Amino acid sequence: MRRPTAFPPFPLLAAVCATVLAACASSGEAPAPAPADAASAAIAVPVAAVAHPAGETPQWWYRGGAARAAANGAMAGRAKNVILFLGDGMSLTTVAAARILQGQRHGGPGEENLLSWERFPHTAFSKTYNTDSQTPDSAGTMTAITTGVKSHMGAIAVSAGDRDDCAGSLGQARLTWLQLADSAGLATGIVTTARLTHATPAATWAHAPDRNWENDTDLPPEAVAAGCIDIARQMVATPYGRGPQVLLGGGRGEFTTVEERDPEYDDKVGQRLDGRDLVAQWKAAHPGGAYVWNREQLRAARDAPAVLGLFEPDHMQYDHDRDRNAEPSLAELTAEAIRRLSRDPNGFVLMIEGGRIDHANHEGNAFRALDETIALSEAVRTAAEMTSARDTLILVTADHSHTLNFVGYPVRGNPILGKVRGGGEDGGSADYARDLGGLPYTTLSYANGPGHTGASNRQPAGPKRHLHAPSSMEPSTGRPDLGGIDTEDPDYLQEALVPLKSESHGGEDVGIWARGPGSAAVRGTVEQNAIYHFIVQATPKLRQRLCEAGTCDRNGVPVELPQPVDFMRQR
């Protein structure tokens, strides 16, 4: 029987089934013999029905996520290590198109291909909305994933409140599973291609009501007066344990002062005005740790017990644009992180973000969005090869969707970034399909963004090129003739219906793909905050630490909102 042994046995499911949702149906009447699937490991957690959204308290979100994960059997998990991959803005459409582009790069028609995580055995859909927004942002969504509690747009690991209310946020800090792991003595790491202080990585380690408080100069005076601290500072100093032994990404300027010249770009300095050298502070907290800012230094620091890598003053370069000798790939960063963290006998947790899929989509550039997704696929493949499915839970998900469309009736093997060839529903053709005005069109397009074909204050009417950041745009007077345009060019911007400076997020579900102990619980359509509960329930050391703080029910399921103060410890 795959049952938890460290905690009390399962309840009499039948008794509670009457009051709860889901999962009970699959538990059967008689005790199931040797359950092989997570469904038979279901534990019921009653959740009160509330009015929406008024009744959605942080405790309600937490318990609701716990109930769903437990009903799905996550408590049967025995993970030693956890790796969460986050494709920022990686909509299901982005995944499908990237899969085809990768397949076509390998010489196939493309549709047959699978990205690395699409070979994982377990999948679910994640509902991404924020407490105050139907279509969410990366901060509120990552807060749901890291704390088990949904929150407002812009929230960094605090529960729902006003975005500019520092004082109100101070009692609302929510413990993340990375801080929990640190407190439980596991090794921890964070890797991203964005700034380390950007929304997604920030919500693993910092607490702020506003995602924009990345360095000291970003905080309004009232927030400073009320006691709020910038995100960068929180990333290097932590009350929960050792803090992240691996911090790899961009955002060098957020950690260094204006007095300090950038090591890579002569014309740049750091951004901090408070005189704090956060790199030195991190080094002091990690004796023997290495600070690196390029690929060669990272490789040379292979034996260092801890590493802080800041590879760009801002976000790291797109994989397509990076200097391959100077800047490591996401797969390389992944390998360096796992190599170090896996030395810890207590196990490790690691968050790895493909942070720029989102940026390319915002810029209306499908090429880079798909290319970044393929880079993430390589990183996930690396992690899957370096770890064992017997002891390491790997989850791959996105925080939210985008407006990328994959439409028309292109023939099999048609270049995914190309113009549609094919005769539509009525039969195939080698010629370009035409709209009713006689013009060809591409398979991929955006519902909104800077790819709109009207004239802007930056580029003339017609197809737009990357990087297009207009501040004003005229309505398009008609579709451009793409006959002579190479839409597979990396800098081509797909047509966008509604002219916006920045293409927007989308509100539909994203995927969750999972492998390893506890991954069988990842199924169905779940609220995004259930991801936290999949992780803590499937990892005995994490749920044990939560139980020690008195947050578990009689079945050992963490159901009560943990108070961060209970997890702080002296260095």
Active site residues: 138
The annotated binding site for Mg(2+) is made up of: 88, 198, 200
Cβ atoms 164, 147 nearer than 8 A = no
Query: Residues in the site for Zn ion, rule: CB under 5 A?
Result: 358
Provide the minimum distance between the beta carbon of 349 and Zn ion in the complex, in angstroms, as a whole number: 24
Q: Which is nearer to Zn ion, 142 or 149 (CB)?
A: 142
The residue whose Cβ lies closest to Zn ion is 358
CA distance 56 to 64: 10
**Tokens representing 63?**
């318990």
Task: Say if residue 479 is exposed, middle or buried (CB neighbours under 10 Å; 0-12, 13-18, 19+).
Answer: middle
The annotated binding site for Zn(2+) is made up of: 88, 353, 358, 362, 399-400, 505
Q: What one-character DSSP code corresponds to residue 75?
A: G
Q: Which is nearer to Zn ion, 59 or 504 (CB)?
A: 504
The annotated binding site is made up of: 88, 198, 200, 353, 358, 362, 399-400, 505
Provide the minimum distance between the beta carbon of 43 and Zn ion in the complex, in angstroms, as a whole number: 36
Provide the minimum distance between the beta carbon of 522 and Zn ion in the complex, in angstroms, as a whole number: 24
Q: Which is nearer to Zn ion, 312 or 358 (CB)?
A: 358
CA distance 131 to 488: 39
CA torsion through residues 133, 137, 139, 143, sign: positive
Provide the minimum distance between the beta carbon of 407 and Zn ion in the complex, in angstroms, as a whole number: 22
CA distance 134 to 192: 26
Q: Which is nearer to Zn ion, 403 or 443 (CB)?
A: 403
Residue 31 CB neighbour total at 10 angstroms:
11
Residue 32 CB neighbour total at 10 angstroms:
15
Q: Which is nearer to Zn ion, 358 or 527 (CB)?
A: 358
Backbone angles phi, psi at 274, to 5 degrees: -90, 5
Among 326, 222, 232, residue whose Cα is nearest residue 271: 232
CA distance 135 to 217: 29
CA distance 347 to 370: 33
Provide the minimum distance between the beta carbon of 194 and Zn ion in the complex, in angstroms, as a whole number: 10
Q: What's the per-residue H, E or C state across 139-196?
A: HHHHHHHHHCCCCCCCCECECCCCCCCHHHHHHHECCCHHHHHHHCCCEEEEEEEEEC
Task: Say if residue 565 is exposed, middle or buried (CB neighbours under 10 Å; 0-12, 13-18, 19+).
Answer: exposed
Please, where are the H alpha helices in 227-329?
A: 231-236, 252-255, 278-285, 295-300
Provide the minimum distance between the beta carbon of 420 and Zn ion in the complex, in angstroms, as a whole number: 28
Alpha carbon separation from 527 to 60, 127, 401, 522 (Å, rounded): 12, 5, 15, 12
Q: Which residue has the tokens 């007095």?
A: 259
Among 414, 402, 408, residue whose Cα is nearest residue 368: 402
Q: Which is nearer to Zn ion, 358 or 372 (CB)?
A: 358
Provide the minimum distance between the beta carbon of 137 and Zn ion in the complex, in angstroms, as a whole number: 7
CA distance 82 to 542: 10
Instruction: Look up residue 267 and give its amino acid.
Output: D
Q: What one-character DSSP code corresponds to residue 526?
A: E
Provide the minimum distance between the beta carbon of 95 and Zn ion in the complex, in angstroms, as a whole number: 16
**Tokens representing 183?**
């407190």
Among 446, 457, 434, residue whose Cα is nearest residue 494: 446
Task: State the number of CA atoms in the 13 A half-sphere of 279 facing the CB.
Answer: 21
Provide the minimum distance between the beta carbon of 275 and Zn ion in the complex, in angstroms, as a whole number: 32
